Every structure is written in structure tokens, then in C-alpha cells.
Amino acid sequence: MAYAYDDQNIFAKILRGEIPNNTVLETEHTLAFADIRPQAPTHVLVIPKGAYVTYDHFAAEASDAEIVDFTRAVAKVVEMTGVGADAGPGARFISNAGEHGVQEVPHFHLHVLGGRMLGRMLDPAE
């Protein structure tokens, strides 16, 4: 099944420079920036520059160069923010996809969250 990418989504506009962002890191294929409504002291969004809707889309169709660049950018963001579980208290990496994942912005993004105790991954009551 083909993934339909909406190039009017807010992250596409950020990538085109049409709306501002608070950049943490930019590489050849990847942009990392602060979430506008942070849910933890560290809340960075890492996105590929390519037009991918979800993590599964990216994992299936991105080039090796894009995947390596993205993955290394995540490591760099963790190092820059000091939330890594090796030297720091740890973090959470979340990527919501589609309706059941309650994805708000249809451009693949990885949330890097840290700086406070984050609780259980899913609320068992939901």
C-alpha cells in the first residue's frame, strides 16, 4: 500500500522554512527541533527531511543514507541534551503513527523526551 504524504503538514512547512522552529540539530537528511508544547524538560522532535508519513513508511522506503543519518542524529540529540541512559537518567523515544497511534502531524517524527520521571509507557486505564 502506498503512503500518501500531505505536503501541507506543519513539519513540511517547517522544512521549507515557511514557519520558524527552534532548531537543536540539522544534518544532511535530518532536522531536530524543540516541540512547541513540551511535555517534559527535554522534548525534541527528530524528523527526516524526506517526505515520510510514519516510522514504518520511513523504515520501509528511506535510503540507507537517510536511515543512518537520522539514527545518528538521534544519538547526537541524546548526547546534546544529556538524557542518555548511559551518563544521564534516561529518556523515552516515541513515534505515533496513524489513527490508533493518535498521530497529529503526518510527517514522521521521533519524540525524544526526558528530564523527568515519565511514568508508564501506556496508561492501563485507557
Contact set with ligand 5GP (CB under 6 A): 10, 21, 33-37, 96, 103-105
Q: CB-side exposure of 53: number of CA atoms within 13 Å?
A: 12
* Rg (the chain; Cα; Å): 14
DSSP letter assigned to residue 46: E
Which residue's CB is nearer to ligand 5GP, number 92 or number 103?
103
Name the grid cell of 85. Answer: 541512559
Q: How far is the CB of 49 from ligand 5GP (least distance, A)?
A: 15
**Burial (CB count <10 Å: 0-12, 13-18, 19+), residue 44:** buried
CB of 15 to ligand 5GP, least distance (A): 12
Among 29, 43, 109, 111, the active-site one is: 109
In terms of DSSP H, where are the helices of the chain? 10-15, 55-61, 64-81
Closest approach of ligand 5GP to the CB of residue 86, in Å: 26
109 is annotated as an active-site residue: yes
Comparison of 16 and 64: residue with beta carbon closer to ligand 5GP: 16
Q: Which is nearer to ligand 5GP, 38 or 65 (CB)?
A: 38
Residues serving a catalytic function are 109
